[in-house]
Structure 1
Amino acid sequence: MSGFIAGAPVPSGHINTDTFWPSIDIEKLRKSLRIDSSVTPARLETAIIAAAISVNDELDAWLQAKRAEGFVALTEVPSPPVGDVTKHVYLYLRAIEAATGAEVCERYRGYDTTGSGSKNAEDTAPTIDDYRRDQRWAIRDFLGKSRTTVELL
């Protein structure tokens, strides 16, 4: 297996799920997670969609409550500003980003089954756990629930 990583331009775009949620900017997510072009656009799109399904499922009860209050988009829900977006928009996109990062890491750890590939899988395991933790924390923060971390000894 060579160390060559293609440097071709990566197509960009947006992924939209439910009209309530903000669209996901693929290029921005790719840059934020530092995902290079070795992850194909199709594979990244699949990971983002899987992440969105997971996050949207976890937030479904909250979504239904907000729709019952008359809100049609997350940007309409009162929330403190964080930069150029609201806290809820930021946390939603953060949860999607973290879930996508975990998905990509999990998929790419199995490509090289040589000794270096096995070592690489061990090196990425904490990153996968970190991404999953970040996803849980973003969702809990979004819902206004406290964070709890429990580690078995």
Structure 2
Amino acid sequence: MKGNPQKEIEMAFLALPPDPASPEGFSVEGDGWFPAIDCNKMRDALRIGEMVTNARLVEAIKGGQLTIDRELADWRTAREDEGAADLTEVEPTRMIGGDHRLSLLYIRAVRFAAAAELAELHRDLTATQDGQARADTEATTAQEYHRLATNAVRDIIGTGRVAVELI
């Protein structure tokens, strides 16, 4: 008899936590003015599972950065003209939970823009009726992510969240 059978059974049922879908500490760098986006923190914050590969998440984050950077281009130029070398130099004393307020808002905006892209592109082309119902739910989620990204951008630039036009 080789070894302890009870020990072999215990070892067979030993459950190890899964490896993260993105390497530990892996971030998508921006241009240096805005902060980097940590992939695993985004996964945790938005409950993005391992079905989304690191490569897909990175591309979605880059898309989110492009979108939000474009939306903030005029605001950023004005802050640079005021002398800010990066985002943390804009309202540097405004903190939330020990973190720079505007950095938190930027990260939220990028995360939500990236999550919206993932939700829009994650539909199964061979979906059954149940699969199509899930796809409709994902579309609603994508719309919610877009709304949350827009809210974060508006909070950064200091405008209201509701646009009303009289006819």
- Say whether the 8 Å CA contact 1:112–1:118 is kept in structure 2: no
Aligned counterpart, 2:80: 67
Say whether 1:91 aligns with 2:91: no
**Amino acid corresponding to residue 10 of structure 1 in structure 2:** A
Task: Assess, with a 3 A threshold, how the Cα gap between structure 1 residues 82 and 115 changes in structure 2: closer, same or farther.
Answer: same
* Distance of 1:111 and 1:135 partners within structure 2: 27
Question: Identity over aligned residues, as a percent?
Answer: 35
Number of paired residues? 144
Aligned counterpart, 1:133: 147
Task: Assess, with a 3 A threshold, how the Cα gap between structure 1 residues 139 and 105 changes in structure 2: closer, same or farther.
Answer: same
* Distance of 1:115 and 1:8 partners within structure 2: 33
Over the aligned positions, Cα root-mean-square deviation in angstroms equals 1.6
How much does 1:68 deviate? 1.3
* Distance of 2:28 and 2:76 partners within structure 1: 19
Task: Structure 2: state its 5+ residue gaps.
Answer: 1-17
**Superposition map of 1:27-66 within 5 A:** 27-66=40-79
- Say whether the 8 Å CA contact 1:105–1:124 is kept in structure 2: yes
**Amino acid corresponding to residue 148 of structure 1 in structure 2:** V
* Distance of 1:112 and 1:37 partners within structure 2: 21
Task: Assess, with a 3 A threshold, how the Cα gap between structure 1 residues 111 and 48 changes in structure 2: closer, same or farther.
Answer: farther
Task: Structure 1: state its 5+ residue gaps.
Answer: 1-6
Say whether 1:16 aligns with 2:29: yes
How much does 1:8 deviate? 4.8
Aligned counterpart, 2:8: none
1:46-97, CA deviations, whole angstroms, 9 ceiling, x for partnerless residues?
A: 1000000000000011111111111111111115211121221111111011
**Superposition map of 1:74-85 within 5 A:** 74-79=87-92, 80-85=94-99
User: What TM-score do you get using the length of structure 2 for normalisation?
Assistant: 0.80
- Say whether the 8 Å CA contact 2:22–2:53 is kept in structure 1: no
**Amino acid corresponding to residue 152 of structure 2 in structure 1:** A
**Amino acid corresponding to residue 156 of structure 2 in structure 1:** F
* Distance of 1:119 and 1:8 partners within structure 2: 31
Aligned counterpart, 1:119: 133
Larger radius of gyration: 2
